[in-house]
Structure 1
Amino acid sequence: MTNSRIPDHPSWHEPLTDYLAWLRAAGRPRSTIYQRSYQLRRFAHETRVEPFEATLDLLVAYLGSHGWANATQHAARSTLRGFYDWAHVTGRSESNPAARLPKIRQPAGKPRPASDDALAAGLVEADERVKLMLRLAAGAGLRASEVARVHTRDVEPDLDGYSLRVLGKGGRVRVVPLTRALALALRSLPGGFVFPGQDAGHLSGAYVSKLMSRALPDGVTAHMLRHRFASRAYVGSGRDIRAVQELLGHSSVATTQVYTAVPRGALRAGVEAA
């Protein structure tokens, strides 16, 4: 859970180890734990401050000194808030210098579905392994980290064919119906992880994302396939946003709305009806 590009600082080793253990005990996803480790080690390296001697002014100066994109700045603020909340609650720090950090506005997200042409081009460029990754992302709406963990035992028969049990963020499990073609492709494989590797027996989510994005045209990312799935599922389900929420494994409908592009025909129909 560390990044070798950022050197360790001895005074941070024990607090960081304890904090990451706290996050694991709370069931936080591995990706969250990794990112928080990275952010805190970067903060320690750049500021050279002792773990529990940081002030509000120092935290503000750090967050405002990089010219980060909004999302990166928001993630850094969340990391500092989380760490110093933990330190204060557990008695390691008498005060919480991050408690009054200014809020960072998050711009409203917009759906960014990959086009049919982009997916078709990716399937032409990819080898058989990456093709299956692309099909799972575009045809079942899986995140790259979820694609990485697909196991043959996760393919289960249901009343209409087969479904896939998906372990998502926060340990939430959802069941996604599979098309016949995708189910057959998965069931034809040897037993075990579909994409074996060195990360607990499978490839890492980051590497799977890189492989998919590399196969897709420039400017198209693996995550845009999930947006494509959401937008198509929204239309196919009769515009049932709750059904799409279940398929994507979101805890909030508001998040699902960011993924689902409203069909242009629906907008025109609304205008005509008015």
Structure 2
Amino acid sequence: MNLKPVNNLWQKLKRDRLAIFGIITLIIIILAILIGPLIYQTPIDKIDFTQSSNPPNLTHIFGTNSLGQDILARVLFGGRISLTVGISAMLVAIFLGTTIGAIAGFYGGIIDNSLMRVTDLFLALPQLPLLLLIVYLFREPIKTIAGPELGIFILVVIVIGGLNWMSVARLVRGSVLRLREMEFVDAATTLGATPNRIIRVHILPNVLSIIIVAATLGVGNSIITESTLSFLGLGFPPDVPTWGQMLFQAKDYLTTAPHMAFFPGLAIFLTVLSINYIGDGLRDAFDPKTRR
């Protein structure tokens, strides 16, 4: 396996201090949400009204919420859900965007025109109101079919991913339009390669850098969108402590117990910030014109 491209990418990426900060921060967050609950075994659903809305202390490092539940335990557990939603929604958006962009760019003509008009239509839609409407209309039927937690997870992932593929499609289409005119594509066509094989084997590997950068930035956007849904009361059930759900529950205690909103808000902020720094670093590292 040729590791030279990966090594060259790392050599460029490590010169970007913000990207390195993002990588370190994201690794710490991921390790915390994966390993933290195994070490910090305070139950996330234990109710103790005698400890209600306590500020951070030695017993409860991040304090407690209005029900006396430990905020640190809920932040660690909720991080798993928020990151899983962000990654899953990103995969949906990348799949749709890459497929539509590659087909539009390779075939051109009426196919390209039709797919790009559909893309323009989705770009013109007001995303947040549409997102709220779809979740509001379909959350009860899908909860009946798949259960309250899995059903909402599937719905949120599909809706967020289905409304965030357009920028990926445009980027991939632009690259494919350029690549399809190159000699190696003509050579593959002459040798009898099918359009499907040309796209999969010869074109998509050459737009992988664009897809990786878009995927990185898409995770942060998906986390924010899920948090927005939960904050508005249309996300996961109240007993599922996602970061957005914790903010929703803390909104009535901002003056009396600000720590209830501070720690889940800080988790969202650091996660999205680190992912965006990594995405910016990858974009510069993949750009051959960038010199540091």
- Check whether TM > 0.5: no
| Greater RCO structure (CA 8 Å; 6+ sep) | 2
TM superposition score category, shorter chain reference: under 0.3
Larger helix fraction of residues: 2
TM-score by length of 2: 0.22
Larger strand fraction of residues: 1
TM-score by length of 1: 0.23
